[in-house]
């Protein structure tokens, strides 16, 4: 289904701070800011499990560092290349949506092995990339659990941040329906998130279409589809996303 190409986002590199610290200095700061307790909570409370090295830097601390550093595409690539989870989280916060390329998105998504880094990349800046909907389409068919999660987390982020046309969102509902039986935890929850996000938009057409799909899924013989639909209907009844 053909969709309109989203206009390229305005470059934000003017926010780059003069004399920004280098990668070595940033990694050292991340390590100092890390907490063994927070690191343990990532796995126990939030289900964020990764093979990467982790310092346990809180999201609040990462956001404060990102604000201090400003947008810097080159730095974000260097941070990602360290392979350190905390540095990669920061990379998603300092990269400029205007500079991200399809190839970079492919490289990064293949490195992702937990929902935290997936959702942060999608919610912080990938949704503002002109390549977002092409990646949603492609990744929605992925075999890898976290690549597929990225498709629906990105779709949800676009819906919540008012990115994309009604036509693109309707196509998103088609993808949600097609993949709603995937019972892998991190896929089904992102699929559900996207359905709720689209159903919460102001467009009467999208609200009606999302609710119709939720009702259809809620009556499915498939347990995962049924859970997805019923959960979305509960959210819609409460007026939430």
What CATH number did the domain enclosing 159 receive? 1.25.10.10
Do 184 and 82 lie in one domain? The reply is no
Residue-level pLDDT at 14: 45
| Domain coverage including residue 161 | 109-241
Gyration radius (Cα) of the chain, Å: 18
Could you say which DSSP state residue 219 is in?
T
Residue-level pLDDT at 6: 47
**Domain count of the fold of the chain:** 2
In a domain, 102, yes or no: no
How do residues 27-47 score in pLDDT, each as one tens digit? 999 999 999 999 999 999 999
Where among 29, 61, 96 does a domain terminate? 96
Where among 47, 70, 96 does a domain terminate? 96
Do 231 and 133 lie in one domain? The reply is yes
Do 119 and 188 lie in one domain? The reply is yes
Low-confidence ranges of the chain (pLDDT < 70): 1-20, 240-241
Residue-level pLDDT at 4: 44
């Amino acid at each position: 289904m053909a969709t309109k190409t989203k206009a390229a986002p305005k470059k934000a590199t003017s926010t780059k701070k003069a004399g920004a610290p280098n990668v070595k200095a940033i990694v050292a700061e991340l390590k100092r800011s890390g907490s063994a307790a927070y690191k343990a909570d990532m796995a126990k409370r939030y289900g964020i499990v990764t093979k990467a090295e982790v310092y346990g830097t809180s999201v609040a601390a990462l956001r404060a560092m990102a604000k201090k550093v400003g947008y810097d595409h080159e730095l974000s690539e260097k941070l990602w290349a360290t392979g350190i989870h905390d540095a990669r989280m920061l990379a998603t916060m300092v990269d400029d949506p205007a500079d991200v390329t399809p190839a970079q998105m492919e490289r990064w998504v293949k490195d992702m092995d937990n929902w935290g880094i997936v959702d942060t990349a999608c919610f912080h800046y990938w949704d503002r990339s002109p390549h977002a909907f092409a990646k949603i389409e492609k990744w929605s068919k992925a075999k890898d659990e976290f690549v597929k999660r990225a498709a629906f987390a990105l779709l949800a982020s676009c819906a919540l941040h008012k990115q994309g046309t009604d036509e693109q969102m309707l196509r998103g509902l088609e993808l949600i329906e097609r993949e709603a039986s995937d019972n892998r935890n991190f896929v089904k929850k992102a699929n559900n998130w996207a359905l709720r996000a689209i159903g919460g938009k102001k467009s009467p057409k999208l609200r009606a279409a999302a609710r119709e799909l939720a009702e259809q899924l809620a009556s499915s013989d498939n347990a995962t589809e049924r859970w997805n639909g019923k959960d979305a209907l509960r959210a819609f009844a409460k007026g939430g996303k």
